[in-house]
């Protein structure tokens, strides 16, 4: 299939007001999509079949980012919600998109879909060789069903649906809510508050031995656009930066960037999550020329800087009232 010219297409982005979505929308505006829709969940509840039917009407391309997400604690405490809401959103939306004759459906999955003990680096071929890490399995499997659906609809109906597997993202506009944030924003918030309150130490979940890979959100948005334009095959594709860092090293790096002088205490009664995470990103480069550009420390410094600025702005707004 030929490259899609997004300037000639009516594009729907679900989750377009969220963290990744806001960066993706910015890029799509630069592409000058003929129509660009990114309604909020309050406008269209995608767990409702009728809402899915309405939102895909007269749309050429759907990029499905919308998801219920959270860190290890949130996944552990809300497994049923994580499974049901993510599964039902994807199933309904893709089915209604096919019925509405949408030209292309881009399903954005999650690294949580990989088996707990997949060989490092994670290759797309290993996706089904084991069960996901238990704390995020309901979420990971719900999103993974989008791959099964995409391949089934392609086989039976010739529906052009693709499935992307982005690694953990970070960057400006991330979710810093301690109840649902992922590890980088959670640590930035923790270190910053400890520093301004002169606390002697902070506590971090787990042993610090688990490893993670992180993709700067602007790189992720660029990768999704490239795949939307150029990739039209049934096989899943990893989107990552191709490196791994332990949570201990990550905490120490954030501590250094934020100039926190206190001690890091590890709460080993709390889970580490998946032991290791790192993607093989060679297919994305081969299929649509994607390679991450942002060095991790550079992206991390930008994220910290913007968090500090937004924290101070919010504090000043509160003091003015």
Predicted local distance difference test score (pLDDT) of residue 152: 98
- What is the phi/psi pair of residue 14, to 5°? -85, 145
DSSP reduced 3-state for 280? coil
Predicted local distance difference test score (pLDDT) of residue 74: 86
Instruction: Using the predicted structure, report yes or no on whether residue 320 has a pLDDT greater than 60.
Output: no
The per-residue DSSP string of 141-206 comes to: HHHHHHHHHHHHHHHHH---EEEEEE-EEESTT----TTT--HHHHHHHHHHHHHHTT-SEEEEES
Say whether 139 is catalytic. Answer: yes
Q: Of 139, 153, 192, 216, which one is the catalytic site residue?
A: 139
Query: Do residues 260 and 195 touch, judged by C-beta distance below 8 A?
Result: yes
Averaged pLDDT, 129-149: 96
Q: Scanning the structure block, which residue is given the tokens 């994607």? A: 290
Q: Which of these ranges, 82-86, 240-244, 272-276, 284-288, has the smallest mean pLDDT?
A: 272-276
Q: Which of these ranges, 9-18, 55-64, 93-102, 171-180, has the smallest mean pLDDT?
A: 171-180
Q: Residue 267, exposed/middle/buried by CB under 10 A (0-12, 13-18, 19+)?
A: exposed
DSSP reduced 3-state for 137? helix
For the ranges 72-86, 227-241, 307-321, the one whose mean pLDDT is highest: 227-241
Q: What is the CATH architecture of 6-320? A: 3-Layer(aba) Sandwich (3.40)
Residue bearing the bigger pLDDT, 250 or 172 = 250
Averaged pLDDT, 178-196: 88
Pair type for strands 245-246 and 211-212? antiparallel
- The per-residue pLDDT of the chain, averaged, comes to 93
User: pLDDT tens across 99-134, in order?
Assistant: 999 999 999 999 999 999 999 999 999 999 999 999
Q: Which of these ranges, 30-39, 89-98, 99-108, has the smallest mean pLDDT?
A: 30-39
Predicted local distance difference test score (pLDDT) of residue 125: 97
CA distances from 15 to 12, 23, 204, 273 (A): 10, 11, 30, 25
CA 281 to CA 240: how far, in whole Å?
6
């Amino acid at each position: 299939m030929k490259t899609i010219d997004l300037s000639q297409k009516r594009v729907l982005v679900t989750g377009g007001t969220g963290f990744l979505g806001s960066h993706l929308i910015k890029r799509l505006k630069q592409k000058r999509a003929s129509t660009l829709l990114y309604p909020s969940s309050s406008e269209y509840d995608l767990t409702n079949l009728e809402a899915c039917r309405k939102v895909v009407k007269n749309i050429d391309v759907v990029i499905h980012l919308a998801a219920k997400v959270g860190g290890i604690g949130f996944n552990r405490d809300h497994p049923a919600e994580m499974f049901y809401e993510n599964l039902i959103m994807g199933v309904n939306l893709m089915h209604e998109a096919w019925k509405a004759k949408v030209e292309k459906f881009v399903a954005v999955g999650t690294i949580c879909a990989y088996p707990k003990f997949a060989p490092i680096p994670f290759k797309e071929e290993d996706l089904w060789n084991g069960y996901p890490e238990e704390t995020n399995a309901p979420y990971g499997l719900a999103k993974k069903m989008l791959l099964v659906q995409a391949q089934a609809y392609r086989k039976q109906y010739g529906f052009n649906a693709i499935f992307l597997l982005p690694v953990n993202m970070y960057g400006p506009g991330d979710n810093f809510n301690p109840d649902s944030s992922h590890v980088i924003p959670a640590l930035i918030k923790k270190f910053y508050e400890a520093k301004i309150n002169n606390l002697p130490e902070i506590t971090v979940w787990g042993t610090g031995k688990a490893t993670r890979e992180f993709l700067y959100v602007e790189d992720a948005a660029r990768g999704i656009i490239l795949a939307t334009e150029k990739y039209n095959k049934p096989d899943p594709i990893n989107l990552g930066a191709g490196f791994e860092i332990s949570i201990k090293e990550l905490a120490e790096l954030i501590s250094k960037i934020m100039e926190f002088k206190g001690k890091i205490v590890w709460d080993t009664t709390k889970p580490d999550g998946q032991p290791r995470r790192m993607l093989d990103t060679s297919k994305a480069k081969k299929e649509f020329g994607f390679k991450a550009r942002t060095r991790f420390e550079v992206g991390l410094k930008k994220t910290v800087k913007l968090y500090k600025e937004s924290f101070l702005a919010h504090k000043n707004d509160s003091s003015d009232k």
